[in-house]
Amino acid sequence: MYKGGRIIASLVFVVALLSLPFFYNMGKGNKGPVINLNTSAILQLADKQCVEPTEWMRANHMKLLLQWREEAVRMGKTEYINSQGKSFKISLQTCLHCHYDPALNTSDQFCVSCHNYTAVKPNCWSCHTWPKEAGK
Amino acid sequence: MFERALTGSRRYWTWIFLLLAVIAVGFYSYLKQYSYGLGLTGMSRDVSWGLYIAQFTFLVGVAASAVMLVLPYYLHDFKKFGKMVILGEFLAIPSVIMSMLFIIVDMGQPLRVFNVILYPSPHSMMFWDMLVLFGYLVLNIIIGWTTLGAESKGSPTPAWVKPIIYLSIPWAVSIHTVTAFLYAGLPGRHLWLSAIMAARFLASAFAAGPSILILLCLLVRRVSKFDPDPGVGAIQSLVKIVTYAMIANVFFYMLELFTAFYSNIPEAKAPLKYLFAGLDGHTRLVPFMWTATILAFVGIGLLLFPSTRKNDKILPLALVAIIIANWIDKGMGLVIGGFIPNPFDRVTEYVITNIEIAVTLGVYAIGMLFITILYKVAISVREQKDR
Amino acid sequence: MSLNRRRFLRKAGMVTALGLGGTFVITGLRGKVEASEYETPQQGLVAKRWAMVVDMSKFKTKEDYNRVIEACHSVHNVPGLGNPKDEIKWIWNEDYEHAFTSQNNRYMKESVKNHPFIVLCNHCENPPCVRACPTEATFQRPDGIVDMDFHRCIGCRFCMAACPYGARSFNFRDPRPFIKEINPDFPTRTLGVVEKCNFCVERLEKGLMPACVEKSKGGLIFGDLDDPRSEVRKIVSSQYTIRRKPELGTQPSVYYLVGGGDLV
């Protein structure tokens, strides 16, 4: 092989470089996100369902939020009638009303902890506010 | 073909690394600006565009000016430009890249740049400008690379490129016309609200762009064995284009002055007063505008007379005068002047910051890196052929 | 060797293109999110063409001006940056001479020239900012309000060049540290987006009048210009009102009622 030694050495180097994150994180505990569903608002709910069924929300909440955003901001349609005919006000505060727990740090809040775990970085909070931040 | 850019003399690599160093400083400054925000620049609520958009405007012109070689050569079979035309196209490519980069560094939310494509808005001139600029970039890459590639293999230029070359001619005019429309269609900005804006843009582009190209050709002649003008008078022909384009540009400017001052409309006069005499005691741009004015006339004078135009020592100086005059007038003069006075008839001046200068130099260094690489490839092909 | 390599690259390219294209088609086919509906709230105030009349006779003291400015800036999380370069404002004072630039004469008394007027976005019928915006981040609603979608703004500031009224501000730096008290019901803005008055769309949909109007003690009158029975329409059709830079054809929706002898 032409310049075989160099090629193999480079390959080993690249593989080592690419696998660095795996070695770096090896052995570190993987406790998963804190999914806190016991906020006082949720406990008071008779029917413990989000704006849509849980399974559906888990897969589609980001699309729903994007659609909420378009409808509310651009079309002025700020009311969402869900698949069961129940009505909700379109606002992140509607989500926070149930999912925000004042007892927890921001990093342990429902959406943050899961997004951190999955390494998703939505930038909602650069403009929208946690109830705690308000009044600061 | 690209491999030709990977071998070179010590001088070549020193230059490359010098550019990379400037790019690194520019990039570092940009990161600072990115994290703090555009507040690190001199721009304000009143003067909301500055150095970056000024460079953008100027460089779109440089990009468009390649047409001054392409048109005579391909449409009128003006053979003198045969060796130079590729250099014109290879100046256009980095110029478009630089102008696009200047838009990016000027944006408040650069990560959202694709919103322009995601939500196409044909009513916005910015949308059209992006389309034509990108199109022009693609056209020039295809044309330049194919013609040079064929030449490097010693085969004739493939026939399918011809229609693309013809298309690039009106396209070049369009990029600068649309850039002028960014300004000329805004109510309430009286310096810009002028039907002659696109014509002025084209005239100044066809003066400044070819001037830069000639300087590059003189440099190429000096540092390589390839001569873009081996005694056929290509440079002198291009100089005549520069001269008359610059005369047209100055003439158009005087038309603006006439309309503003003879009509005596206060809004039309105010920005011009600010530029040439100062307004309410604010005179920051006055020295620049008079420098531009003097350089424009000196440049035209030197280029008009055959004795000075044909003098190897004076010609480059005259061209530099033309370039600087245009760079001031069409860059800072036009952009900043348009925002002063503001819609409340108040003057807020614009003061450039170091961050802005560093980012600007960084972008120019990226452009020069592209020019260097592209020219290196073109020159290597030509040197090999000449041998 | 080189021919093989070329063929390999070509095939690899084709497979990649197929893969990417395939994913795109599959994602595209998934379709609508859910069988649900979106509605405008019932209690919301609606109009065909919202407009405002500024009754200058009601603005006497400094307090009359500051009250409406403060009302707006606090509900909308407008930061107080404290310097004119980065300044953000939705509604503010500008003296007559500078608000109505072409309607001066040199014999005007200083007190008239310097008389403060309330200025804000004019919500033009033909808004140049909407025309300029390359992403439709600034758009015109069917009720005439020129609104902004901060999510979409790329911060090119073309709208600021286009607006002949200087109504737009840009977030040159992070506004959050400069907001005295954050109102969680309205978003703050982020670095690098443009903002301006939105005629309180978020309050209209709740059935409330704009914040400035509510606090103006009758100095700001808000209503549907298209409705002949509305107060704004009655004033605009029967009394002498002026608008800023009407000659530009933008058709501002903010009218100034300047009764005779009011400005002294």
Encode pLDDT of C109-155 as tens digits.
998 899 999 999 999 999 999 999 999 999 999 999 999 999 999 99
User: Considering the domain boundaries, does residue A136 fall inside one?
Assistant: yes
Give the model's confidence band at C263: pLDDT under 50 very low, under 70 low, under 90 confident, else very high: very low
pLDDT at C26: 66
Give the model's confidence band at C34: pLDDT under 50 very low, under 70 low, under 90 confident, else very high: low
Q: Does C37 touch chain A (CB under 8 A)?
A: yes
From its phi and psi, is residue B172 left (phi > 0), alpha (psi between -120 and 50) or beta? alpha
- C141/A135 Cβ within 8 A: no
Q: What is the mean pLDDT of residues A64-85?
A: 91
Chains that touch A (3 or more CB pairs under 8 A): C
Calculate how close chain C gets to B157, using CA atoms only, in Å: 22
Give the model's confidence band at C238: pLDDT under 50 very low, under 70 low, under 90 confident, else very high: very high
- C183/A81 Cβ within 8 A: no
Angle between helices B314-326 and B286-304 (to 10 degrees): 140
With a pLDDT cut of 70, the percent of chain B lying above it is 99
In A, which residues are within 8 Å of C178 by CB distance?
Answer: none
Query: Mind listing the pLDDT tens digit for each residue in B49-106?
Result: 999 999 999 999 999 999 999 999 999 999 889 889 999 999 999 999 999 999 999 9
Is the pLDDT at C76 greater than 50? The verdict is: yes
Q: Print the domain residue range for A136.
A: 34-136
Calculate how close chain C gets to A37, using CA atoms only, in Å: 22
- C136/B121 Cβ within 8 A: yes
With a pLDDT cut of 90, the percent of chain B lying above it is 89
Mean pLDDT over each residue of chain C, to the nearest integer = 90
pLDDT at C261: 44
Local structure of B64: helix, strand or coil: helix
Give the model's confidence band at C2: pLDDT under 50 very low, under 70 low, under 90 confident, else very high: low
- Whether residue C232 contacts residue C222, with contact meaning beta carbons closer than 8 Å, is answered with yes
A22: its two tokens: 């795996």
- A76/C40 Cβ within 8 A: yes
Q: What is the largest CA-CA distance in chain A?
A: 73
In A, which residues are within 8 Å of C36 by CB distance?
Answer: 52, 80-83
- C173/B36 Cβ within 8 A: yes
The count of other CB atoms within 10 Å of the CB of residue B146 is 16
- A82/C34 Cβ within 8 A: yes
B275: its two tokens: 């530029």
pLDDT at A36: 79
Query: Mind listing the pLDDT tens digit for each residue in C152-193?
Result: 999 999 999 999 999 999 999 999 999 999 998 899 999 999
- Whether residue C41 contacts residue A94, with contact meaning beta carbons closer than 8 Å, is answered with no
pLDDT at C264: 42
Give the model's confidence band at B306: pLDDT under 50 very low, under 70 low, under 90 confident, else very high: very high
In C, which residues are within 8 Å of A128 by CB distance?
Answer: 187-188
Local structure of B196: helix, strand or coil: coil
Please state whether the peptide bond connecting residue B341 to the residue before it is cis, i.e. omega within 30 degrees of 0.
yes
- Whether residue B220 contacts residue B228, with contact meaning beta carbons closer than 8 Å, is answered with yes
- Per domain, the residue ranges of chain C are 50-257
Is the pLDDT at A2 greater than 80? The verdict is: yes
Query: Mind listing the pLDDT tens digit for each residue in B173-204?
Result: 999 999 999 999 999 899 999 999 999 999 99
Q: What is the mean pLDDT of residues A108-122?
A: 89
Residue-wise burial string across B27-55, b where 16 or more C-beta atoms lie within 10 A, e elsewhere: bebbeebbeebbbbbbbbbbbbbbbbbbb
Q: Give the separation between CA A88 and CA C1, rounded to whole angstroms.
A: 65
Q: What is the mean pLDDT of residues A49-55?
A: 89
Give the model's confidence band at C55: pLDDT under 50 very low, under 70 low, under 90 confident, else very high: very high
The minimal CB distance from B124 to the residues C131, C155, C193 is found for C131
Contacts of B114 (CB under 8 A, 6+ apart): none
Q: What is the mean pLDDT of residues B6-29?
A: 95
Q: What is the mean pLDDT of residues B249-257?
A: 97
User: Considering the domain boundaries, does residue A112 fall inside one?
Assistant: yes
pLDDT at B339: 96
Is the pLDDT at B251 greater than 90? The verdict is: yes
Domains and CATH numbers, chain B: 2-386 (1.20.1630.10)
In B, which residues are within 8 Å of C153 by CB distance?
Answer: 108-109, 112
Q: What is the mean pLDDT of residues C45-71?
A: 94
Q: Give the separation between CA A102 and CA A95, rounded to whole angstroms.
A: 14
With a pLDDT cut of 70, the percent of chain C lying above it is 92
The minimal CB distance from A77 to the residues C38, C184, C185 is found for C38
Calculate how close chain A gets to C33, using CA atoms only, in Å: 7
In A, which residues are within 8 Å of C184 by CB distance?
Answer: 93, 129-131, 133-134
Local structure of C261: helix, strand or coil: coil
Would you give the DSSP letter of residue B345?
A: S
| Class of the CATH domain delimited by C50-257 | alpha beta
CB pairs under 8 A between B and C: 144
- Whether residue B259 contacts residue B268, with contact meaning beta carbons closer than 8 Å, is answered with yes
B186: its two tokens: 């805004």
Is the pLDDT at C28 greater than 60? The verdict is: no
pLDDT at C33: 55
Is the pLDDT at A132 greater than 70? The verdict is: no
Amino acid code (one letter) for B192? W
C21: its two tokens: 């294209």
- Whether residue C95 contacts residue C111, with contact meaning beta carbons closer than 8 Å, is answered with no
In B, which residues are within 8 Å of C135 by CB distance?
Answer: 112, 115-116, 118-119, 121
Q: Give the separation between CA B349 and CA A80, rounded to whole angstroms.
A: 49
For β-strands C146-148 and C138-140, DSSP reports them as antiparallel
- Whether residue A100 contacts residue C67, with contact meaning beta carbons closer than 8 Å, is answered with no
CA dihedral A102, A107, A113, A115 (to 10 degrees): 120
Angle at B311 between CA B310 and CA B317, to 5 degrees: 110
Contacts of B83 (CB under 8 A, 6+ apart): B227, B228, B229, B230, B234, B382
Q: Which residue has the higher pLDDT, B15 or A25?
A: B15
- Whether residue C235 contacts residue C259, with contact meaning beta carbons closer than 8 Å, is answered with no
In A, which residues are within 8 Å of C44 by CB distance?
Answer: 76
Is the pLDDT at A52 greater than 50? The verdict is: yes
- B106/C194 Cβ within 8 A: no
Q: What is the largest CA-CA distance in chain C?
A: 93
- C193/B109 Cβ within 8 A: yes
Q: Give the separation between CA C177 and CA C70, rounded to whole angstroms.
A: 18
Overall number of domains in chain A = 1
Q: Give the separation between CA A2 and CA B294, rounded to whole angstroms.
A: 63
Contacts of C116 (CB under 8 A, 6+ apart): C59, C65, C93, C94, C95, C96
A4: its two tokens: 């075989």
Q: Give the separation between CA B351 and CA B280, rounded to whole angstroms.
A: 17
Q: H-helix or E-strand containing B162? A: helix B161-184
- C161/B338 Cβ within 8 A: yes
In sequence order, the β-bridge partners of residue A88 are A80
Q: Give the separation between CA C208 and CA C210, rounded to whole angstroms.
A: 7
Burial of residue B318 (CB within 10 Å: 0-12, 13-18, 19+) is buried
Give the model's confidence band at A15: pLDDT under 50 very low, under 70 low, under 90 confident, else very high: very high
Q: Which residue has the higher pLDDT, C93 or C34?
A: C93
Q: Does C27 touch chain A (CB under 8 A)?
A: no
Q: Say what the ipTM of the complex is.
A: 0.91
Angle between helices B314-326 and B234-263 (to 10 degrees): 40
Mean pLDDT over each residue of chain B, to the nearest integer = 94
**What is the 3-state composition of chain C as percent helix, strand, coil, each rounded to the nearest 5?**
30, 15, 55
User: Considering the domain boundaries, does residue A114 fall inside one?
Assistant: yes
Q: Chain A interface, mutation test: which of C77, C149, C151, most A Cβ atoms within 10 Å?
A: C151
Q: H-helix or E-strand containing C55? A: strand C50-55
Angle at A67 between CA A62 and CA A69, to 5 degrees: 95
Query: Mind listing the pLDDT tens digit for each residue in B119-139?
Result: 999 999 999 999 999 999 999
Chain B residue with minimum CA distance to C85: B44
From its phi and psi, is residue B119 left (phi > 0), alpha (psi between -120 and 50) or beta? beta
Chain B residue with minimum CA distance to C99: B344
Is pTM, for the whole model, over 0.80?
A: yes
pLDDT at C10: 84
**Per this entry, what is the length of chain A?**
136
